[in-house]
């Protein structure tokens, strides 16, 4: 998730990082933190080497020579990947590549269920709109961005100046090149850094195991340990004749990366040093206690309830049809992932008494402010302002949550908005028809109709009356509060319920765009969506964003105070989908009294789960055969086959697909999840409890070679045994 200055302080607060301990700045846990690679030499390299690292800072990040950062990529829009050969071979998670696999799947060629393996370069499948992004360098640009800033200036004026400055910096960095760039705020806008990227767009699917391996355990095991999931997929990056980014062309050649990772297949042990380079998404570690209360008492329970309803509807239809299952597999996983995580966060927050800890820290902060007259002038009243703003924002925050979790999830609402926008921009009819074909390929009307009915009922229950559109009066009157009957009538009358009717509308658009837009505007789904948007624009957004600006101003001041308190700069910055380094060790943990989890799992545990009567634990016959015959090749260890392991690296969303590296920077696993008890690491990191979960690289090699019969791919990897 890319940082946004809008829904950041409230809705973004539900992807938190850790509770800041005012009394423990000098005792920051070694495993804790998400560090900017260019700054590790200054702040962290000695600690890392003391913990076991055998590399220098320049081995990890350098602009003068090839280094580990050159082997790490942004995969798609929200995952991490890593280069594992000098022929463009890329490794990431199965759930990151699942969308690509699904796009190539059909009932006749069900690659989700059966897996896909290219047995030659010619069989590698191109993927529309999939990109891989390499970080070329980072540069601090705080002085350039903040030139002309005045203490206490209006946040809106500041934001305008920031955007203008960032635009100039980006233009200067990319002018005359094919590079792309972004400037990101750190420490709540107290520092700014430029990130310059090279983006490749010819990415081809090489291989993915069947979903019964790549997503073994599915929702049953999601966010849980122990795990037995082979969560990986393989892609290849292609480039033009000069090894430069190019759009898809059959004549393109495999990209020669500046750096690829060596694979360490010799095994792991308890206590081994580990580190992760990747792109954690959007986190916040300095949130005020009332924001945590809002999350626990209102926002997360509401969002969980709404997603539970959507998941139940999708699941019922997916079980009745293979076609629908394929259409909605990726959608279902996208809904369920955060749904289960949020439940773990609530569990962890309550268990760790996070709100109480935050209140204690805020008291300590206030004592620090009150101890100095100058600090009182700069930071006095800050806590009271937080309290007032969070009290004022509650009903608006609920409305924003409903927009994101009840209104926007209705697929026809999204399609109507998308089509309307494209028509108004004058998009050529052929491009519109392509978009329509893509949408309806994975659209099943009965699911969306039920979701629409249920979500509108939820809006009526939870949203302030003043925020509800006028069509709710019709539901209460004509339909006597029967939301399902209202939904059936609406979908019967909407042309967007039928692809053929939409194609006819596009034929009108081709001849007379204005008439087509007028006809679209009369569609009931368009009318209802417009009513929602108008009410949000008038009644919700202005107040909500004004309160956001007030909070932004407060948090910038708050962060400045915390940086003043911590002159040694042991405060690690929030994740914002920029490259970060974390490090820790391979360790088991004790989740509850009397329970001890080991640090690794094996294929035996997978087979034991397979005896249970769960669809999530279905085991492919070929894997059963390999297990029965103990045909593990050189990947097994003393008659067992390692599958997954855990370590104390501090991770978050966006780290999916990140490489887990050993002390020499070699690949030992692929990060894909966290333990449920430790999902509260988004708010409070405890190294005794919080674990990242990785698939062991030996299991990856085993599946590619022995299960898939694609061992030729290993020939291009550098593997150390």
Which tens digit of pLDDT belongs to each residue from 308-334? 999 999 999 999 999 999 999 889 988
Distance from C-alpha of 537 to C-alpha of 287, rounded to nearest angstrom: 27
Confidence of residue 678 (pLDDT cuts 50, 70, 90): confident
Q: Which of 514, 532, 561 finishes a domain?
A: 561
Average pLDDT score over residue span 556-580:
87
Distance from C-alpha of 318 to C-alpha of 66, rounded to nearest angstrom: 47
How many other β-carbons are positioned within 10 Å of the β-carbon of residue 139? Answer: 16
Q: For residue 237, is it within any domain?
A: yes
Average pLDDT score over residue span 100-129:
95
Determine phi and psi for 698, rounding to 5 degrees: -65, -35
Distance from C-alpha of 419 to C-alpha of 417, rounded to nearest angstrom: 6
Report pLDDT for 31: 67
State whether 471 and 380 are in the same domain: yes
Burial class (CB in 10 A: 0-12, 13-18, 19+), 682: buried
Distance from C-alpha of 153 to C-alpha of 146, rounded to nearest angstrom: 12
Report pLDDT for 30: 55
State whether 261 and 308 are in the same domain: no
State whether 359 and 271 are in the same domain: no
pLDDT of 158 over the 90 cut: no
Q: For residue 352, is it within any domain?
A: yes
Q: For residue 170, is it within any domain?
A: no
- Residues 666, 668, 669, 675: what is their CA dihedral angle, to the nearest 10 degrees? -110
Instruction: Count how many domains the chain has.
Output: 2
Report pLDDT for 592: 83
- Give per-residue pLDDT as tens, 67-105: 999 999 999 999 999 999 999 999 999 999 999 999 999
Report pLDDT for 569: 57
Report pLDDT for 44: 87
State whether 520 and 579 are in the same domain: no
Sign of the CA dihedral with 283 first, then 289, 290, and 295 last:
positive
Q: For residue 601, is it within any domain?
A: yes
pLDDT of 236 over the 80 cut: yes
Q: Which of 17-21, 166-170, 429-433 has the lowest mean pLDDT?
A: 17-21
How many other β-carbons are positioned within 10 Å of the β-carbon of residue 463? Answer: 22
pLDDT of 388 over the 60 cut: yes
> Are 576 and 4 within 8 A, CB to CB?
no
State whether 378 and 496 are in the same domain: yes
Q: Which of 534, 561, 588 finishes a domain?
A: 561
| CA-based nearest residue to 34, from 22, 17, 47 | 17
pLDDT of 1 over the 80 cut: no
State whether 584 and 600 are in the same domain: yes
Average pLDDT score over residue span 489-497:
97
Report pLDDT for 419: 95
CA distances from 322 to 172, 218, 241, 310, 315 (A): 52, 17, 42, 19, 12
Confidence of residue 680 (pLDDT cuts 50, 70, 90): confident
Q: For residue 159, is it within any domain?
A: no
Distance from C-alpha of 574 to C-alpha of 260, rounded to nearest angstrom: 28
- Give per-residue pLDDT as tens, 12-68: 333 333 333 333 333 445 567 899 999 999 888 999 999 999 999 999 999 999 999
Report pLDDT for 363: 94
Q: For residue 522, is it within any domain?
A: yes
**In Å, how far from its chain's centre is CA 689?**
22
How many other β-carbons are positioned within 10 Å of the β-carbon of residue 635? Answer: 20
pLDDT over 90, % of the chain = 82
pLDDT of 243 over the 70 cut: yes
* Host domain of residue 519: 289-561
State whether 445 and 501 are in the same domain: yes
Q: Which of 532, 561, 590 finishes a domain?
A: 561
Q: Which of 268-272, 372-376, 450-454, 564-568 has the lowest mean pLDDT?
A: 564-568
Average pLDDT score over residue span 551-560:
91
Mean model confidence pLDDT for the chain:
92
pLDDT of 684 over the 80 cut: no
State whether 293 and 280 are in the same domain: no
Q: Which residues contact 182 (CB under 8 A, 6 or more apart)?
A: 170, 194, 195, 197
pLDDT of 231 over the 70 cut: yes
Distance from C-alpha of 718 to C-alpha of 86, rounded to nearest angstrom: 9
Q: For residue 676, is it within any domain?
A: yes
Report pLDDT for 559: 92
State whether 525 and 592 are in the same domain: no
CA distances from 680 to 201, 245, 397 (A): 36, 39, 22
Q: Which residues contact 83 (CB under 8 A, 6 or more apart)?
A: 71, 72, 73, 89, 90, 237, 257, 259, 260, 261
Q: For residue 462, is it within any domain?
A: yes
Q: Which of 22-36, 462-476, 528-542 has the lowest mean pLDDT?
A: 22-36
Entry pTM: 0.83
Confidence of residue 568 (pLDDT cuts 50, 70, 90): low
CATH of the domain at 209: 2.40.10.120
Confidence of residue 565 (pLDDT cuts 50, 70, 90): confident
State whether 443 and 578 are in the same domain: no
Confidence of residue 351 (pLDDT cuts 50, 70, 90): confident
Average pLDDT score over residue span 593-619:
94
Report pLDDT for 83: 98
Q: Which of 112-121, 178-187, 286-295, 704-713 has the lowest mean pLDDT?
A: 286-295
State whether 706 and 680 are in the same domain: yes
> Are 651 and 674 within 8 A, CB to CB?
yes
State whether 378 and 266 are in the same domain: no
Q: What's the 3-state SS for 399-457? A: HHHHHHHHHCCCHHHHHHHHHHHHHHCCCCHHHHHHHHHHHHHCCCHHHHHHHHHHHHH
> Are 385 and 550 within 8 A, CB to CB?
yes
- For the annotated catalytic residues, the residue numbers are 95, 231, 656
Report pLDDT for 489: 97
């Amino acid at each position: 998730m890319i940082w946004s200055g809008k829904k950041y302080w409230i809705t973004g607060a539900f992807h938190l990082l850790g509770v800041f301990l005012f009394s423990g700045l000098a005792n920051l846990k070694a495993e804790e933190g998400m560090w900017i690679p260019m700054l590790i030499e200054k702040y962290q390299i000695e600690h890392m080497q003391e913990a076991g690292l055998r590399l220098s800072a320049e081995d990890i990040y350098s602009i003068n020579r090839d280094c580990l950062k050159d082997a790490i990529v942004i995969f798609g829009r929200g995952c991490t990947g890593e280069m594992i050969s000098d022929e463009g071979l890329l490794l990431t998670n199965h759930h990151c590549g699942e969308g690509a696999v699904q796009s190539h799947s059909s009932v006749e060629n069900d690659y989700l269920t059966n897996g896909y393996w290219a047995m030659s370069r010619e069989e590698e499948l191109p993927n529309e709109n999939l990109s891989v992004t390499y970080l070329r360098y980072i540069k601090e640009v705080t002085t350039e961005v903040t030139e002309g800033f005045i203490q206490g200036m209006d946040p809106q004026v500041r934001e305008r100046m920031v955007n203008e400055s960032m635009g100039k910096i980006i233009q200067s960095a990319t002018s005359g090149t094919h590079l792309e760039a972004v400037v990101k705020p750190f420490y709540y806008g107290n520092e700014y850094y430029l990130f310059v990227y090279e983006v490749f767009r010819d990415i081809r699917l090489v291989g993915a195991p069947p979903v019964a391996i790549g997503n073994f355990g599915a929702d049953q095991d999601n966010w849980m340990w122990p795990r037995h999931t082979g969560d990986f997929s393989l892609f290849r990056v292609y480039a033009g004749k000069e090894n430069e980014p190019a759009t898809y062309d059959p004549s393109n050649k495999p990209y020669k990366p500046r750096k690829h990772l060596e694979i360490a297949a010799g095994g792991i042990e308890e206590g081994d040093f580990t580190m992760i380079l990747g792109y954690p998404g959007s986190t916040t570690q300095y949130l005020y206690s009332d924001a945590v209360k809002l999350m626990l008492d209102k926002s997360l329970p509401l969002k969980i309830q709404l997603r539970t309803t959507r998941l139940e509807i999708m699941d019922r239809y997916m079980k009745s049809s293979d076609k629908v299952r394929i259409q909605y597999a990726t959608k279902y996983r996208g809904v369920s992932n955060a749904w289960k995580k949020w439940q773990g966060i609530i569990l962890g927050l309550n268990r760790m008494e996070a709100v109480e800890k935050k209140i204690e820290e805020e008291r300590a902060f206030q004592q620090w402010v009150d101890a100095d007259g100058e600090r009182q002038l700069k930071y006095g009243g800050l806590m009271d302002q937080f309290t007032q703003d969070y009290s004022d924002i509650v009903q608006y925050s609920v409305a924003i949550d409903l927009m994101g979790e009840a209104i926007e999830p209705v697929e026809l609402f999204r399609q109507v908005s998308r089509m309307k926008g494209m028509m108004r921009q004058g998009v050529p009819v052929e491009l519109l028809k392509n978009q329509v074909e893509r949408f309806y390929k994975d659209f099943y009307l009965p699911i969306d109709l039920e979701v629409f009915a249920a979500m509108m009922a939820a809006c009526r229950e939870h949203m302030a009356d003043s925020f509800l559109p006028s069509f709710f009066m019709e539901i209460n009157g004509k339909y006597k509060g029967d939301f399902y009957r209202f939904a059936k009538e609406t979908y019967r009358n909407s042309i967007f319920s039928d692809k053929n009717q939409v194609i006819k509308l596009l034929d009108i658009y081709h001849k007379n765009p204005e008439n087509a837009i007028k006809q679209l505007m009369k569609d009931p789904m368009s009318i209802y969506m417009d009513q929602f948007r108008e009410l949000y624009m008038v009644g919700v957004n202005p107040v909500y964003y004004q309160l956001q600006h007030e909070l932004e101003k407060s948090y910038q001041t708050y962060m400045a105070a915390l940086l003043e308190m911590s002159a040694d700069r042991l405060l690690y910055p929030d994740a914002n989908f920029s490259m970060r380094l974390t490090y820790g060790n391979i360790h088991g943990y004790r989740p509850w009294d009397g329970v001890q989890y080991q640090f690794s799992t094996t294929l035996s545990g997978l087979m034991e789960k397979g005896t249970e009567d769960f669809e999530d634990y279905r085991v492919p016959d070929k894997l059963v055969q390999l297990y029965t015959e103990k045909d593990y090749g050189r990947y097994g260890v003393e008659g067992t086959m390692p599958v997954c392991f855990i370590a104390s690296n501090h991770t978050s969303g966006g780290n999916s697909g990140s490489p887990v590296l050993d002390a020499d920077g070699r690949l030992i696993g692929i990060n894909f999840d966290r333990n449920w008890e430790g999902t509260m690491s988004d708010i409070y990191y405890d190294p005794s409890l919080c674990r990242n979960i990785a698939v062991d690289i030996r299991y990856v090699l085993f599946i590619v070679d022995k299960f898939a019969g694609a061992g030729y791919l290993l020939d291009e990897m550098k593997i150390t045994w």
